[in-house]
Amino acid sequence: MLLSAGDLQRSQSGPSGGPLAEEGEIVMSAQATKHPVTAAGVTVPDPLTEAGLLHDLAVRAYSRGDVAGGIHLAERARALRTGILGTAHPDIAKDLKILGALYHLAGRFIDADESYRLALAIVENCYGPDHVEVATTCADLAALRSDHGDYDVAEALGRRSLRILQAVLGPEDTEVGRTMLNLAAAIAGQDRLAEASAFADCARAILSDRLPEAHPYVLAARQAVSHLQVRKGIAALSA
């Protein structure tokens, strides 16, 4: 596998929530003091504000590798926002995308796939088929499907994402490089090594030019290029 979300964020917490979930409870308690209090002395927090804070904490949990804690926070955020905004609001798509990423790391493929597909349907409906949010959601779903071995599906999603990103952000944006790297993995999984190498080389050039040398995407791109060179050498010897 050339680039796996699991390779970049493998650390996971226990099944009942991690330190970010506990931190979330503390933050919510602190925020509650800023909201109105009823005559009976009961605090009435703003649910959308609470949901936004929970979402941000879920993103932080993902970045720290606290998968179980992040899932707990993101599921709460989604439930709060859905109760007020319904199921088709762009903010629901944001919650679904972070849930998809967290489920991916947790190895919950079906849940991750469903989350990304629901998010994709929302952003397509809200923004149209050629929006950046559509592209990034397709890219995330492509990475998931590639990790699961569904390389043809991943390639189709990756190519759609790449077409949108290049048109909207330009040919050398970091998101373009990330998408090329995932696309290289999907193509390599189908044993089209020369084509995969071309995408990996482009990804390495873009990411190395725009990210720190030790960034996980830069390291993954270099590893992908090296891995494909080895595979092509083996294939040549076997021919």
Residue 86 sits in a domain of what CATH number?
A: 1.25.40.10
| Domain co-membership, 225 together with 152 | yes
User: If DSSP codes are grouped into helix, strand and coil, which group holds residue 45?
Assistant: coil
Give the pLDDT confidence of 29-82 residue by residue, as tens digits: 444 434 454 444 545 568 999 999 999 999 999 999 999 999 999 999 999 999
Q: Tally Cβ neighbours within 10 Å of residue 194.
A: 10
Structural domain ending residue among the three candidates 119, 149, 167: 119
| Domain co-membership, 135 together with 235 | yes
**What mean pLDDT is predicted for residues 116-140?**
97
Helix or strand (DSSP H, E) at 10: none
| Domain co-membership, 114 together with 153 | no
| Domain co-membership, 83 together with 105 | yes
Gap between the Cα atoms of 157 and 118, Å rounded: 15
The beta-strand segments (E) located in the chain are none
Considering only CA atoms, which of 183, 112, 184 is closest in space to residue 142?
183
pLDDT at residue 30 in the model:
43
| Domain co-membership, 150 together with 239 | yes
Gap between the Cα atoms of 69 and 87, Å rounded: 23
What band does 16 get if pLDDT is binned at 50, 70 and 90?
very low
| Domain co-membership, 137 together with 235 | yes
| Domain co-membership, 95 together with 19 | yes
**pLDDT above 90: percentage of residues in the chain:** 77
Pull the structure tokens for residue 107. Answer: 């190895």
Gap between the Cα atoms of 221 and 178, Å rounded: 9
**Whole-number mean pLDDT of the chain?**
86
The tally of domains found in the chain comes to 2
| Domain co-membership, 93 together with 73 | yes
| Domain co-membership, 100 together with 161 | no
Structural domain ending residue among the three candidates 98, 119, 140: 119
User: If DSSP codes are grouped into helix, strand and coil, which group holds residue 149?
Assistant: coil
pTM, rounded to two decimals: 0.80
Query: Which carries the bigger pLDDT value, residue 34 or residue 179?
Result: 179
Structural domain ending residue among the three candidates 63, 90, 119: 119
Burial of 239: CB neighbours in 10 Å, binned 0-12, 13-18, 19+: exposed
Domain span at 147: 128-239
| Domain co-membership, 115 together with 134 | no
**pLDDT above 70: percentage of residues in the chain:** 81
Q: Tally Cβ neighbours within 10 Å of residue 97.
A: 24
| Domain co-membership, 114 together with 215 | no
| Domain co-membership, 237 together with 181 | yes
